[in-house]
């Protein structure tokens, strides 16, 4: 277990996302009003930078480049979205957001290991 | 040559000629291979070649920037097979309904300048083509490598002739080349129809069109179809046409005729980004409205909270389309109610 401090809970306003570098691992922290999610900072579809392309409305994150979207409460995929979001476990302590980061979460098209068996997952 | 594609929904195979791209061969066979622009700029049709030899036509295609060629990643729209091939595509593939695209020949005639840098032209087809309002074709010449996409302006069944709009770009190979041809007839290869940003009257929706510059082309086809189908007897239409200045606008007479035919259930607003629209009306176009500002801002201001039961069509340069989609999502429009085309 490696719980790492991301930021203070008040550093990311409601319905916004902010990118952090945690020991070399890029993390996007999303405040969707009813909670937070810590995710890789790129869209699993075409690797668009979600800090810029993402919009959060009514607990739904939409990448506005190609309209993939996810319910941030349930992580349900919406519309024509074909890949789930990967998320880091998070918790809040004393006004801080912590994420459990064992290793960097990546999407398979970006997999540096070249493990083609993961290509579709 | 036999192309086998493994996807999230299983495996499928089709034949591909040596002079056609893998994307076009698969679409021609009725498979819904992923694509948006079909001309190398967007990157949606990426795939991984697992075995077999291929030739990549446009190696520096902007849509290929994020690919890993060392792993065999290619854009299917730029790739021709040199042998039987096995590919993987990271999406779900199924047989499509609707019109299958096909290769045809065409002759360009009657190039007519509409503004300083926009021209209208007719494409006469060797075989008639069925298409949906909002679709486009890709044109290629022998003289220039790579295809360019153009949305149909007209709407006809079994069309032997389609009307297209071209914007001349500085250094924009095909358009420069075509402008230079003057009155000559120009032979081109045609592939289409393509594109999913289509209007279907049976969906029973109000229409909102937000277009930048030559992005108005496909909207004209949508207006022609909806007008002819009597759509505005039961539904509203709102068209926002963004141009830099009034002298960059075109098709205004045609747009005004659609407004008249709809008994004003259709409203058309011309948004001027680089000129002050001094009045909300213009004496030459009493049926149209005029506003100052970026088209996505003008549309957002006018439409705020009025998107109920609407299908929103967006077309234009990438930055304009991105800004518009962002504004729509923030305004609460569902992603399934947005259809877009990026012209790049």
Residue with tokens 């002050």: B276
Facing A57 at nearest CB: one of B43, B46, B329:
B329
Q: Does B41 touch chain A (CB under 8 A)?
A: no
Report percent pLDDT > 70 for chain A: 88
Task: Determine whether the interchain pair B335/A82 forms a contact, defined as Cβ–Cβ distance below 8 Å.
Answer: no
pLDDT of residue B173: 67
The verdict on a CB contact (< 8 Å) between A79 and B335 is yes
Of the candidates B192, B67, B31, the residue with the CA atom closest to the CA atom of residue B127? B192
Average pLDDT rounded to a whole number, residues B184-203: 93
Q: Testing the interface with A: which of B75, B196, B329, B337 to mutate, by most A Cβ within 10 A? A: B329
Angle at the Cα of B161 from the Cα atoms of B155 and B166, rounded to 5 degrees: 80
Of B46, B322, B336, the CB nearest to A64: B322
CA B332 from centroid of its chain's CA atoms: 24
CB contacts of B7 in chain A (<8 Å) are: 120
Confidence bin at A111 (pLDDT 50/70/90):
very low
Q: What is the mean pLDDT of residues B100-126?
A: 93
Q: Across residues B317-321, what is the average pLDDT?
A: 93
**pLDDT, tens digit, 9 for 90 and up, residues B242-292:** 999 999 999 999 999 999 999 999 999 999 999 998 888 888 999 999 999
Q: Do B336 and A114 touch (CB under 8 A)?
A: no
Cα dihedral angle (B326, B193, B187, B315), rounded to 10 degrees?
-20
Task: Please state, for a pLDDT cut of 70, what percent of chain B lies above it.
Answer: 95
Which is more confidently placed, B343 or A116?
A: B343
How far is Cα A51 from Cα A55, in angstroms, rounded to an integer?
Answer: 9
pTM assigned to the model: 0.92
Q: What is the ipTM of this complex?
A: 0.85
pLDDT at A114: 41
Tell whether A119 lies on the interface with B, counting CB pairs under 8 A: yes
Q: Which residues of B touch A57 (CB under 8 A)?
A: 329-330, 332
pLDDT band at residue B92 under the 50/70/90 scheme:
confident
> Nearest-CA distance from A24 to chain B in Å?
21
What is the reported pLDDT for B127?
94
pLDDT reading at A28 higher than 50: yes
């Amino acid at each position: 277990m490696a719980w790492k401090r991301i930021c203070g809970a008040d550093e990311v306003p409601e319905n916004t996302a902010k990118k952090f570098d945690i020991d070399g691992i890029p993390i996007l922290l999303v405040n969707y009003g009813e909670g937070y999610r810590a995710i890789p900072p790129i869209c699993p579809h075409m690797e668009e930078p979600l800090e810029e392309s993402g919009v959060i409305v009514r607990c739904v994150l939409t990448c506005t480049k190609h309209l993939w979207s996810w319910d941030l409460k349930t992580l349900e995929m919406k519309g024509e979205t074909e890949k789930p979001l990967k998320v880091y476990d998070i918790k809040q302590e004393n006004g801080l957001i912590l994420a459990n980061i064992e290793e960097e979460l990546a999407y398979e098209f970006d997999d540096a290991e070249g493990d083609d068996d993961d290509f579709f997952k | 040559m036999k192309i086998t594609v493994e996807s999230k929904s299983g495996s499928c195979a089709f034949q591909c000629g040596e002079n056609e791209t893998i994307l076009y061969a698969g679409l021609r066979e009725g498979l819904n291979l992923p694509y948006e622009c079909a001309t190398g700029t967007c990157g949606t049709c990426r795939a991984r070649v697992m075995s077999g030899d291929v030739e990549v036509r446009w190696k520096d295609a902007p849509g290929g920037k994020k690919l890993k060629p060392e792993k065999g990643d290619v854009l299917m729209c730029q790739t021709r097979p040199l042998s039987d091939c096995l590919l993987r595509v990271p999406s779900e593939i199924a047989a499509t309904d609707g019109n299958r695209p096909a290769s045809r020949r065409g002759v360009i005639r009657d190039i007519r300048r509409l503004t300083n840098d926009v021209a209208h032209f007719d494409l006469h087809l060797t075989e008639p083509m069925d298409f949906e309002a909002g679709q486009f074709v890709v044109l290629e010449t022998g003289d220039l490598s790579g295809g360019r996409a153009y949305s149909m302006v007209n709407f006809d069944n079994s069309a032997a002739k389609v009307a297209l709009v071209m914007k001349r770009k500085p250094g924009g190979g095909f358009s420069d080349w075509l402008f230079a041809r003057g009155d000559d007839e120009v032979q081109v290869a045609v592939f289409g129809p393509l594109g999913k940003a289509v209007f279907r009257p049976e969906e029973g929706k109000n229409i909102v069109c937000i277009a930048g510059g030559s992005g108005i082309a496909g909207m004209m086809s949508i207006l022609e179809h909806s007008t002819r189908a009597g759509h505005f007897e039961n539904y509203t239409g709102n068209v926002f046409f963004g141009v830099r200045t009034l002298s960059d606008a075109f098709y205004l007479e045609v747009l005004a005729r659609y407004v008249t035919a709809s008994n004003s259930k259709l409203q058309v607003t011309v948004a001027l980004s680089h000129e002050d629209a001094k009045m909300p009306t213009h004496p030459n176009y009493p049926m149209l409205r005029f506003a100052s500002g970026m088209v996505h801002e003008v549309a957002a201001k006018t439409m705020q909270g009025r998107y109920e039961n609407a299908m929103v069509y967006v077309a234009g340069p990438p930055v304009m389309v991105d800004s518009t989609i962002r504004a729509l999502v923030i305004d609460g429009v569902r992603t399934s109610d947005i259809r877009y085309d990026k012209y790049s």
